[in-house]
Structure 1
Amino acid sequence: MSNFLYLFRGGNDAYDRLSQEEKQAHMQVWGEWMGGLKEKGTLLDGLPLDRDGKVVHKQGTVVTNGPFAEGAEIVGGYLIVSANDLDEAVEISKGCPIFDYDGAFVEVREILSMDGH
């Protein structure tokens, strides 16, 4: 088994247009999906990210407001899941509620160890 990082990108504009009730219902769908992954022992960690942040450049001598990405590319959250391989991690990601919004996608990346194993 390996660990994989899901980076959730995009969908913010469509989500922002929802009513408060629709947002709560959507968060419930996320909770159910993540709860199912946790029950299977697949979900290791994950949280949403604040839209504001800082970008650190040149060994910390330059700090700017960020992130500077187009709306569809802003990372809105992450999960860490356990899967046999990249193909299985991709299959698991297909059930993600982020796909309820146009322009939203999941980047799936294997997490490597520092010792190369």
Structure 2
Amino acid sequence: MSNFLYLFRGGHDAYQELSQEEKQAHMQVWGEWMGGLKEKGQLLDGLPLAEDGRVVHQRGEMVTNGPFAEGAEVVGGYLIVVANDIDEAVEMSKGCPIFDYDGSYVEVREILSMDGH
């Protein structure tokens, strides 16, 4: 078993166009999907990310507002899941509610230990 990181990209603009009731319903879908992963022992952690932040350059000599990315590239949140291999992790990601919005995708990456394994 290995840990995998899901980075959720895009969908922010479409989400902002929803009514408050639609947003609440969509958050409930996220809760149900994540709850299902948790019940199976596949979810370790995960949260949405704030829109704004800072980007640190040159060991802190320069700090800029950001990150600024195009809509489909904006990272809106993450999950850490447990799977047998990347194929299983990809299969698990297919139920993600982010796919309710065009242009959104989940980046699936294995989390390695510091020794590369």
Q: Can you list the C-alpha shifts for 1:53-97, whole angstroms capped at 9, x where unaligned?
A: 000001100000000211110100000000000000000000000
Aligned residues: 117
**AA partner of residue 56 (structure 2):** V
**AA partner of residue 12 (structure 1):** H
> How far apart, CA to CA, are the structure 2 residues paired with 1:109 and 1:54?
23
Identity score, percent: 85
> How far apart, CA to CA, are the structure 2 residues paired with 1:65 and 1:116?
32
- Indicate the residue corresponding to 1:45 in structure 2: 45
> How far apart, CA to CA, are the structure 2 residues paired with 1:103 and 1:116?
32
Structure 1 stretches lacking a partner, 5+ long: none
- Indicate the residue corresponding to 1:4 in structure 2: 4
- Indicate the residue corresponding to 2:20 in structure 1: 20
Q: Which runs of 4+ in 1 moved over 6 A?
A: none
**Residue aligned with 1:72, SS:** helix
**Residue aligned with 1:106, SS:** strand
TM-score w.r.t. structure 2 length? 0.99
- Indicate the residue corresponding to 1:58 in structure 2: 58
TM-score w.r.t. structure 1 length? 0.99
